[in-house]
Structure 1
Amino acid sequence: MDASAALLVRAMRADDLDAVLAVQLACYGAGFVESGELIARRLAAAPHTGWVAEHMGHVRAYLAGYPSVMGKLTPLHGEFEVAAAADALYLHDLAVHPDASGLGLGPRLVRHAWAHAAQAGWRHSTLVSVQSSVGFWERQGYAATQPAGPGQLARLATYPGDSVFMMRRLD
């Protein structure tokens, strides 16, 4: 079977939660692991901006985001604050199981998210880069930027290590 034929990107569902948690646990250090209850609430708050990538019928990667406004970010372990008048797609969490490394699942999920954002008319995508992922995000066209004001800087400080707020224009 052609490897690309075995790949599927689709909307995240509540019944994906166990698989999403398994991917998260395989990817993140203890300070970054978020509870299943929090992920379920986020999915309920923003059901159209969460996706999984399946390889050979198994969830191997996921991307969770939500409609936001430029310059605003979610603190680590915080609830999604879905913006009614969104102008940006905030990507909170992208994780690819190490066993699926090299399949291109991360970039594929990101491109899928951009297509959704473009259909919604959002002009930007923002995120917080963690765990030395800045290079990956730069290859996707993101650049470091400053959050909107001291309150958002305080939210950025909730992420351990060298965390960087990043933005990409979508149009």
Structure 2
Amino acid sequence: MRAPVPVPFQPRHLAQALALQSQAYPAFLLEPEPAFASRLDVAAPFNLVVEREGQLLAYLLAHGWPRESPPPVGAVLDPVLSGDTLYLHDLAVSPKARGMGIGQALVAHCFDLAADAGLERAELIAVEGAADFWQRLGFRTGSTSPALAAKVAQYGPTAQWMSRPL
């Protein structure tokens, strides 16, 4: 079966996305609802979902952000803050939808939107062993400043800072 097409993340998706987040991530990485919802107000065109028959299969939270300055876990984002870099904050795919290429489809669509908006670079923190997935999509690890390394460490002992050109 062909993977569904990504569409913009709408407020009506929030409850299902929070439930999916709790399935996909350990407790220390869960964003409380106010923090999660604040990502919908920052560069909203980069937040995407895939749904089928009213069921959320996956979501991607991504926003324009200042280079090499990831927000802390649980931070409520300032809606007026933006930047020159696409920051991929969160990607979750439901267990029943894994292996369908949905994650890659969300990221590819997001890259197209960001490139159209003039962004030239993408950054993320790979958590919970996801670095291999992100490497397949062109992301690479690199050296980090002590301040950036400290921020990345807040995302867990296996977290890795990764970036790539768009």
TM-score relative to the length of structure 2:
0.91
| Residues 1:159 and 2:155 aligned together | yes
Maintained 8 Å contact 2:42/2:64: no
Task: Pick from 114, 120, 123 the counterpart of residue 120 of structure 2.
Answer: 123
Task: Pick from 66, 75, 86 the counterpart of residue 69 of structure 1.
Answer: 66
Deviation at 1:40, TM superposition (A): 1.1
Task: Pick from 148, 151, 169 the counterpart of residue 165 of structure 2.
Answer: 169
| Residues 1:45 and 2:42 aligned together | yes
C-alpha deviations, 1:85-127, integer Å up to 9, x for none? x321000100101111111110000001100111011111000
Give the corresponding residue for 1:36.
33
Give the corresponding residue for 1:150.
146
Q: How many residues align?
A: 165
Maintained 8 Å contact 2:88/2:122: yes
**Quick one: distance in 1 between partners of 2:65 and 2:34?**
21
Deviation at 1:17, TM superposition (A): 0.6
**Quick one: distance in 2 between partners of 1:41 and 1:83?**
12
| Aligned partner of residue 40 in structure 2, secondary structure | helix
Give the corresponding residue for 2:88.
91
Task: Pick from 12, 15, 28 the counterpart of residue 15 of structure 1.
Answer: 12
Letter in 2 for 1:151: A
**Quick one: distance in 1 between partners of 2:38 and 2:67?**
23
Task: Pick from 93, 102, 112 the counterpart of residue 109 of structure 2.
Answer: 112
RMSD (Å), alpha carbons: 1.7
| Aligned partner of residue 44 in structure 2, secondary structure | coil
**Quick one: distance in 1 between partners of 2:43 and 2:17?**
16
Maintained 8 Å contact 2:91/2:103: yes
| Aligned partner of residue 151 in structure 2, secondary structure | helix
TM-score relative to the length of structure 1:
0.89
**Quick one: distance in 1 between partners of 2:121 and 2:81?**
14
| Aligned partner of residue 159 in structure 1, secondary structure | coil
Q: Which runs of 5+ in 2 are unaligned?
A: none
**Quick one: distance in 2 between partners of 1:116 and 1:135?**
24
Letter in 2 for 1:155: K
Deviation at 1:83, TM superposition (A): 4.4
Maintained 8 Å contact 1:7/1:56: no
After superposing the two structures, state which structure 1 stretch, 110-119 or 27-36, moved more.
27-36
